[in-house]
Amino acid sequence: MKKKIKVGVIGATGMIGQNYLRLLSGHPWFEVVFLAASPRSAGKKYADAVAGRWHMDEAIPAQYRDIVVEDASNVSGTVGRCRLVFSAVEMDKKAIMALEEEYADRGFAVVSNNSAHRHTADVPVMVPEINHDHLAIIPQQRRQRGWKEGLLVVKPNCSIQSYMLPLYALVKAGCRVDAIIVATLQAVSGAGYPGPASIDMIDNTVPYIPGEEEKSEVEPAKILGRVEGGRIVPDKSIKISAHCNRVAVSDGHTAFCSIRF
Amino acid sequence: MKKKIKVGVIGATGMIGQNYLRLLSGHPWFEVVFLAASPRSAGKKYADAVAGRWHMDEAIPAQYRDIVVEDASNVSGTVGRCRLVFSAVEMDKKAIMALEEEYADRGFAVVSNNSAHRHTADVPVMVPEINHDHLAIIPQQRRQRGWKEGLLVVKPNCSIQSYMLPLYALVKAGCRVDAIIVATLQAVSGAGYPGPASIDMIDNTVPYIPGEEEKSEVEPAKILGRVEGGRIVPDKSIKISAHCNRVAVSDGHTAFCSIRF
Amino acid sequence: MKKKIKVGVIGATGMIGQNYLRLLSGHPWFEVVFLAASPRSAGKKYADAVAGRWHMDEAIPAQYRDIVVEDASNVSGTVGRCRLVFSAVEMDKKAIMALEEEYADRGFAVVSNNSAHRHTADVPVMVPEINHDHLAIIPQQRRQRGWKEGLLVVKPNCSIQSYMLPLYALVKAGCRVDAIIVATLQAVSGAGYPGPASIDMIDNTVPYIPGEEEKSEVEPAKILGRVEGGRIVPDKSIKISAHCNRVAVSDGHTAFCSIRF
Amino acid sequence: MKKKIKVGVIGATGMIGQNYLRLLSGHPWFEVVFLAASPRSAGKKYADAVAGRWHMDEAIPAQYRDIVVEDASNVSGTVGRCRLVFSAVEMDKKAIMALEEEYADRGFAVVSNNSAHRHTADVPVMVPEINHDHLAIIPQQRRQRGWKEGLLVVKPNCSIQSYMLPLYALVKAGCRVDAIIVATLQAVSGAGYPGPASIDMIDNTVPYIPGEEEKSEVEPAKILGRVEGGRIVPDKSIKISAHCNRVAVSDGHTAFCSIRF
């Protein structure tokens, strides 16, 4: 790639933001031009802002260490520096929704890791290999919200990512899937930091992850849906029953899917 | 209970044998009158025989410490001391089958924890709340094998025990169960001692337990079957698909069942 | 014991408070007559106050379930109901110190599990088998603080409890101990709830417990000290070097002591 | 390095042998020219020989997959193919000693990972940064044993490697070290495969590793010793007391050393 795409990361100091930076470091397509986080971190060098709470196995990539962190809520300060932001902000749901919308309103393409907007009717939940055509909603999204250049898309829940592709491959191949039953064994990293207390996970599995089974049962329908009338209409023809467990594993989710035709 | 039932435990020094003794200690029905194990342990006091390999959290129950362990293969030596033996011997499958049959032949009621005889047509796999009527096969079992007073019954695989009862309750209530899909998270103790290597279980789950899924898919049919023509005829009307995982938990299996009507 | 000693537990809903209740349930000496905690819990039945955050393996002892929790800061409300309180309050250090002093001022004998007052010169750090004679400071403590009947004593850090007794036995036997070097492997329960994040403990040990090494190096001197001039004068003749590690164990600390004569 | 040094690995299929191959893959100095193991593996391609028991995180390095494994006991078959072998054989102590001596007798420089020869008076235990001068014993070793070109050196116990270098730095700097007290927290990989049973390590630490404390107390003296009269004379001036623990960690030992001057 001759010229890299400039991006900002908002919520860059949390565990998900750290993972974004780990993955963006040396990425062939993207060049990080600003990092933003909460007022607590704003004004500090990134290495200082995450001192004592850097959770990746690898060291902080050198290129980010001395970048002075911006205040994510000061959207004006970042306008013009790039067109794309990855959102990993960790706040309450309403605040996330408002902040992501503000970035989109100011012209940014916002790609969010948060679940906040996954249920918003005109925000597509993207698994590009499956529903890239959902991007057709963007002109309508802009019109409905009065955004000129900005846009907002989100990614799905981590545990469904593993099985959506093979499920889609079956659907695409003509199989009429009636229902899927999923049992997951999910790593603690999925809960962010600090996540589950060690005393709850040592010599144990936890058969409950708040909201996870609901997300697993709703999001696939949206991903498999279609754009119609300015919204994503979910395809509810596949029934999903999910049983989500937390296990004492640091990274990597396992999912067992039984598919009924 | 005024008078306790006298029992012997064969295979008393292994991990399952130790669990038998833990559970029989202070039991209101049973009185242990002899302990038998391999020639390696025979002739030693029980406490000496299990020294360095007692795996229970509780101490060796005092009443067993000084009992001199018998050689399990010397069946004659135990005849007349009781009518019931619990079998927890750990040998290869054929040797287990032969030894358990020999005890039955010598007049013992043999209740076995081993999987060796679970597929034997005239040996019932007992879950008393479900298939106590399978005991009707015992006269035929004796006749077919030339046993006068002895008999042989086995218990099912540990991971299916958890869901057979609610499954049976549904069947009994008139639900026509078509299929069940099971995902298990099974403790390492289920593999006996030493079981899985710690380096395989730390920060990991293992999605494979040799033979476990096959057992889970076959044994329920036998338990739900009927006695006919000197054998247990399995009820294959319920399809079972099992996905068995080992997790880093010491004790206690978890099973998620999805039932299709 | 004919007549039990009535006690109150302040901070009864936290993890340490729960442990107090677990240990006091069925205790031959003590009868719990009130439970107090933060305003958040006050007014609720104990079982409701700890719903979703009861961390003991055993169920909530039945006798405590329906006791309505008091507001621990409303000391007046508890005066006259007993003479002894166990303190397990979890607040910042100054607030703990003030609250425990208020209870003592109102006539209670306060026995505290907190570290807040361990460095207070006229508050003995009790290991009864070693320094019961430190209780001789109580009349002076009362005089200095204007307390009529109340008093305040604390227990030491959990990790030093294991080795103080054998250390003292050596000292008592005439050994002139010059220095001790301690390495600990401490369970996560010692950090309270939630304690260490599971992602930090899985497949790991953590060679740092904030403040623990300092406590381990200071408290033994006070326990081995003597009452003089209205304060406990520490015995600094034994040098202590402590190396404290957190390990992925739920309960039970291990300590290795090397003693130099 | 223009020309790489040709090496063979004996005991190439075990866990230590696998680690040798992992580390030798792409090594700038060494080129592996043969792999040898027990008769069970001999004649198979390496990838087949370790099928189902490859324990490294990385895949089997491609360059080794198709090498046909030799029978390690057939020393003649390997003569002439290289001058250096790394020994990772896992057998009983006497068999290891004899086999390593045979390779040396046939002209190989044998560098062994095994503990078998660590106590042999004319076999140096090498930590090159410390005792490279112990190689001066090689001419005497050859003379005493009638070896023409071969030689035999071993590496020390893994847990002492961490602290021998800083200890030596202190000694070299003129500090008169009188005694060291060591507490270790050792990973399960140090025990080879399968190593500790997971049921023994889950929610636990094990304060005993057979032979480890003895090795830790003896080997440093040899490493710090001097060559004299055809043997390594240990320097026993530093007293060592080691307390070795196994912890539920896959890789990486921790050691706490307290040094007395």
Please give the DSSP secondary-structure letter assigned to residue D188. Answer: G
Query: How would you classify the pairing of strands C84-87 and C5-10?
Result: parallel
CA of B36 vs chain D CAs: smallest distance (Å): 25
Q: Which chain A residue has the Cα nearest residue B260?
A: A260
DSSP assignment letter at D255: E
Asked if C55 lies within 8 A of A195 by C-beta distance, the reply is no
In this complex, is the C-beta atom of D200 within 8 Å of any C-beta atom belonging to chain B? yes
Q: Which residues of chain B make contact with D210, given a CB cutoff of 8 A?
A: none
Of C158, C175, C243, C257, the catalytic one is C158
Is D237 part of the contact surface with chain C (CB cutoff 8 Å)? no
A236 contact partners, CB below 8 Å, separation of at least 6: A221
Q: Are A257 and A207 in contact (CB under 8 A)?
A: no
User: Residue D178 contacts by C-beta under 8 Å, 6 or more apart in sequence?
Assistant: D238, D239, D260, D261
- The enclosing H or E element of B214 equals helix B212-223
- Write down the ipTM of this complex: 0.87
* Contact present, B88 and B14 (Cβ < 8 Å): yes
For residue D114, the SS3 value is coil
Quick one: average pLDDT of B223-240? 96
**Residue A189: which of C199, C201, C250 has the nearest Cβ?**
C199
| Three-class DSSP category at B236 | coil
pLDDT tens digit sequence for D83-119: 999 999 999 999 999 999 999 999 999 999 999 999 9
Q: What share of chain B is helix, strand, coil (3-state, %, to 5)?
A: 35, 25, 40
Burial C116-142, CB ≥16 within 10 A → b, else e: bbbebebbbbbbeebbeebeebbeebb
Specify the pLDDT at position D250: 95
- The answer to whether residue A55 is catalytic is no
Predicted local confidence at residue A2, as pLDDT? 77
Q: Which amino acid is it at C170? A: L
Show residues of chain C in contact with A203, CB under 8 Å.
Answer: 250
Q: Determine which of C202, C205, C251 to mutate to test the interface with B (most B C-beta atoms within 10 Å).
A: C202
* Range B163-176 average pLDDT: 94
Distance CA A27, CA A13 (A): 19
| Predicted pLDDT at C86 | 98
Predicted pLDDT at B30: 97
Test mutation, C256, C257, C259, C261, chain D, max D CBs within 10 A: C256
Residues of D labelled as active-site residues = 158, 253
For the stretch B10-37, pLDDT in tens is 999 999 999 999 999 999 999 999 999 9
What residues are paired with C226 via a beta bridge? C233
Contacts of D185 in chain C (CB under 8 A): 185, 205, 245, 247
- Rounded mean pLDDT, D163-181: 94
Contact B164, B130 (CB under 8 A): yes
How distant is the Cα of D207 from the closest Cα of chain B, in angstroms? 14
- Whole-angstrom Cα distance, residue B13 to residue B53? 9
Each of the 261 residues of chain A gets a pLDDT tens digit; together they read: 679 999 999 999 999 999 999 999 999 999 999 999 999 999 999 999 999 999 998 999 999 999 999 999 999 999 999 999 999 999 999 999 999 999 999 999 999 999 999 999 999 999 999 999 999 999 999 999 999 999 999 999 998 998 999 999 999 999 999 999 999 999 999 998 999 999 999 999 999 999 999 999 999 999 999 999 999 999 999 999 999 999 999 999 999 999 988
Q: What is the mean pLDDT of chain D?
A: 95
Which residues of B are less than 8 Å from A258 in CB distance? 181, 241, 243, 258
* Interchain contact, D202 vs B55, CB within 8 Å: no
Average pLDDT of every residue of chain B: 95
Distance CA C101, CA C201 (A): 37
Helical H runs in A11-118? 15-24, 46-49, 62-65, 93-105
- Retrieve residue B56's tokens: 């229970």
Residue D102's pLDDT is 98
d(CA A8, CA A15): 16
CB proximity C198 to D under 8 Å: no
Query: What is the rounded distance in angstroms from the CA atom of residue A70 to the CA atom of residue A34?
Result: 7
Listing DSSP states for D39-54 in one string gives TTTTTSBHHHHTTT--
Chains within contact range of chain C (3+ C-beta pairs < 8 Å): A, B, D
pLDDT in tens, B30-85: 999 999 999 999 999 999 999 999 999 899 999 999 999 999 999 999 999 999 99
Say if residue B1's pLDDT is above 80: no
Contact criterion met (CB below 8 Å) for A88 and A9: yes
Q: How far is the CA of B211 from the CAs of A258, B159, B218, D194, in angstroms?
A: 20, 12, 11, 21
Rounded Cα distance, B51 and A154, in Å: 60
**What is the distance between the alpha carbons of residues C104 and C114, in angstroms, rounded to a whole number?**
15
Percentage of the residues of chain B whose pLDDT score is greater than 70: 100
Determine contact, residues D126/D154, Cβ cutoff 8 Å: yes
Q: How many CB atoms lie within 10 A of CB C79?
A: 11
List, for residues D187-237, the tens digit of each pLDDT value.
999 998 999 999 999 999 999 999 999 999 999 999 999 999 999 999 999
- Would you give the end-to-end CA distance of chain D in angstroms? 43
B261 falls in which pLDDT band (50, 70, 90)? confident
Q: C200 contacts in A (CB within 8 Å)?
A: 194, 198
DSSP code at position B197: B
Determine the average pLDDT of the residues in D168-179: 94
Which SS3 state, helix, strand or coil, does residue D95 take?
A: helix
Work out the percent of chain D whose per-residue pLDDT is above 70.
100
- The one-digit pLDDT tens for each residue of chain C (261 residues) are 679 999 999 999 999 999 999 999 999 999 999 999 999 999 999 999 999 999 998 999 999 999 999 999 999 999 999 999 999 999 999 999 999 999 999 999 999 999 999 999 999 999 999 999 999 999 999 999 999 999 999 999 998 998 999 999 999 999 999 999 999 999 999 998 999 999 999 999 999 999 999 999 999 999 999 999 999 999 999 999 999 999 999 999 999 999 988
SS3 of A241, please? strand
Active site residue C257: no
Interface residue D68 vs chain C (CB under 8 A) = no
Chains that touch A (3 or more CB pairs under 8 A): B, C, D
Contacts of C53-62 with CB under 8 Å at 24 or more apart are C53/C13, C53/C193, C54/C18, C55/A199, C55/C15, C55/C18, C55/C193, C56/C18, C56/C19, C56/C22, C58/C22, C60/C21, C61/C21, C61/C22, C61/C25, C61/C26
The catalytic position among B55, B158, B243, B257 is B158
Contacts of C202 in chain B (CB under 8 A): 202-203
Are A195 and C200 an interchain contact pair (Cβ–Cβ within 8 Å)? no
CA B122 to chain centre: 16
Q: Is A255 helix (H, G, I), strand (E, B) or coil?
A: strand
As a residue count, chain C comes to 261
The band of D1, judged by pLDDT with boundaries at 50, 70 and 90, is low
- Between CA C20 and CA C89 the distance in angstroms is 12
pLDDT value of position C1: 63
Torsion of CA C196, C197, C203, C208, to 10 degrees: -30
